[in-house]
Structure 1
């Protein structure tokens, strides 16, 4: 007998950050999730490409959380803040993941998204041993991609959230083509 699913409306959103990193060509960093990674969100392996993201610790400032998560997932520290999305961006877990993913405690995530310019050299990026091995690798590969393509690469239940990220930062790629 399976346990009944919790009532979606009774569960809160988990506060998180999302990070959009632009290179000098105006493309964004995306990482491929490790398929067998012991993730709290098992549904992410269906379409594994995504931008860095993660939880905000209790009492942590969202910008500080974004920089921390970026370093923990990619080893990147050489960035310059370009923009912050004007509103929190939400996504809901699909019904089949409710009560299972995100440790079963949340209905989805409420994310604060930041856009940064990558100011370092690509040799700084290390998704296999982020933080010189201090952090568990979450990606097994990475690449630069057009921002507008990212909603098609994410798991379907996050597509609307990624559409909002694209809208929030749509003007940024053009800034790089004018340098």
Structure 2
């Protein structure tokens, strides 16, 4: 049995458009080939998980006009790769991340997407570029150590895609 306390609480967001495509962000200053991912981030102490997902979506994409479509019932886990464990400050002693995933639909215009919107609040840019794509592309775009987690997300939300 896995000790969930070894995993940092995190949320992930799959943002769908009206055509059933999903939003992919190109990680800031990250070289190809595996530099695309969905928005994700940590959960603050006592923060509601859906509220955390909406906060991360806003911080990383600028999107606030989104309706909830679905959420995973259980935590989806991934371990940090051994080479990343050298950066103890970044991982704060955790083995990996436990994530709850949320599917939202963008109900505003694409022009609402603003990758630099959070900088005014002292935040950092997470993504350099973005695009719409198919949900089933996710596992080919993400870094290898997150692929199993992304495969679970794709299965969980496949019924929502184009």
CA offset at residue 87 of structure 1?
A: 1.3
Q: 1:122 maps to which residue?
A: 110
Kept after mapping to 2: 8 A contact 1:99/1:105: no
Distance 1:46 1:143 in 2: 15
CA offset at residue 86 of structure 1?
A: 2.1
Q: Which has the higher helix share?
A: 2
Q: 1:68 maps to which residue?
A: 55
Q: 1:39 maps to which residue?
A: none
Report SS of the residue matched to 1:16. Answer: strand
Question: Please, which runs of 5 or more residues in structure 1 have no aligned partner?
Answer: 1-8, 37-43, 175-179
The TM-score normalised by the length of structure 1 is 0.82
The TM-score normalised by the length of structure 2 is 0.90
Q: 1:35 maps to which residue?
A: 29
Q: 2:96 maps to which residue?
A: 108
- CA deviations 1:31-90 (Å, max 9, x no partner) are 001126xxxxxxx97621000000000000100000000000000000000000121100
* Structure of greater Rg: 1
Question: Please, which runs of 5 or more residues in structure 2 have no aligned partner?
Answer: none
- Tell me the number of residue pairs that the alignment of Structure 1 and Structure 2 aligns: 157
Kept after mapping to 1: 8 A contact 2:85/2:91: no
Distance 1:32 1:151 in 2: 14
Q: Does 1:97 align with 2:91?
A: no
Distance 2:32 2:43 in 1: 22
Distance 2:35 2:104 in 1: 22
Q: Does 1:148 align with 2:118?
A: no
Distance 2:132 2:144 in 1: 20
Report SS of the residue matched to 1:166. Answer: helix
Distance 1:46 1:157 in 2: 14
